[in-house]
Structure 1
């Protein structure tokens, strides 16, 4: 079993540079059955997932990962999925729906197969643009008892203004000089800002206070936290303030130094779910309206 490295070596356990953050993640890694890290791209989600996995393995847990960018390509590369290509970096609505439907079923299956307490599921839930928002919605199915249980925690990393600025700059740097191949697919800074503008509109639609008027509202940690907490009002939530710029220069959040299993569909499963979603949503215009209202939970 690989142990996390100590701070100072720029090894896997960089979160040790912030004692409060380290303590909260260590507790989640030890005590929870499922931890889903929720938030926009460019808020530190992937780093927290990476650190949670290393802390959990060090605590004797068996780690399973559910990640949007691992599951999604299986759908896109299937025979049915090729009818719904990515356009300008945006995943087709049918694929987004299919990944969400699969995720709830996969979670229920994992709950049955991995019932022993040493198993931990760590997931990524962006939500914005209908990306795994199904996990936030109360639905009468096999997955709901596990998602609604106190042993399932949705963690929202909330970066400070300084940390958010660093993350945007780091995105630009990694785009030019990636440390890991998956970093080439990360949303660039202008996309991060566009997603933030979309979230501001969601905050307004939810009736939350937004201090500035107009479309170009600067990043606001309080607005960000309140919006994601509202999206997760049916779940057990823990907001985590991220105030420290951690030493990640030589670290890729996609490179794990500990054993883990990825939760992902098989090709036949992805094909079947895509066809099911096609049958449920035959009207492209209605599908588009549904996708646009992803924030209704």
Structure 2
């Protein structure tokens, strides 16, 4: 019997760029006027692909640009995370381990109030990163963080609020492992099972290891509607049954799994043929597809 396992994985998509241009709130004194200029912040809500070798890390890139006289008046930028500096990202999973880093992905220093300090050092453009170590495996839903960027120069303060919003969509990953090497062959998501002498009752087992950030729907489809069919004469059939963790599975019916959140859950998949002492001699086959959908 041939058996293939397919899976559906939903990738994380994110929103748009946020760009703010601020002007001085007030300008009266000559020193204040001398420090006027444009202050631009851009923070992408699209994670940067291949920014890290870790499978689960998300990186969001941002930058600050200062123009005009403001560039020479501002040695640093103050970034206030409204959800707190320890875990600035909040969503369905609660406060999420995350951080702000400089353009070289090194930790930023903080002031006494816990604000992040991004040195500008006279550069027109300074980059920074929002880093979420387990971003790809968070529980599905909307995650958010509000930041306030401030530049202080000549007793004048320039500032804007910027939000990072991203939607984590449900995903499921799965792999198959064999417990019966002599009868079961696994190659990626393709599985071949030898049910043995079909005149007797036989059982074969597989382990399906599932990782998901939500609930999972399992569906079965059989080419021969749950029968192994004689390859030379399709009139001869031998039924077989499928179960998961001891519970019978029916074809073309949705079965709902609740795997452990964000870590591997092992499910036992078992096949059992109906013994047919008078079965016609020959080879019998079926092909089953197992579909997993996260929601």
TM-score (normalised: structure 2): 0.18
More strand by share: 2
Q: Which has the higher contact order (CA 8 A, sep 6+)?
A: 1
More helix by share: 1
TM-score (normalised: structure 1): 0.18
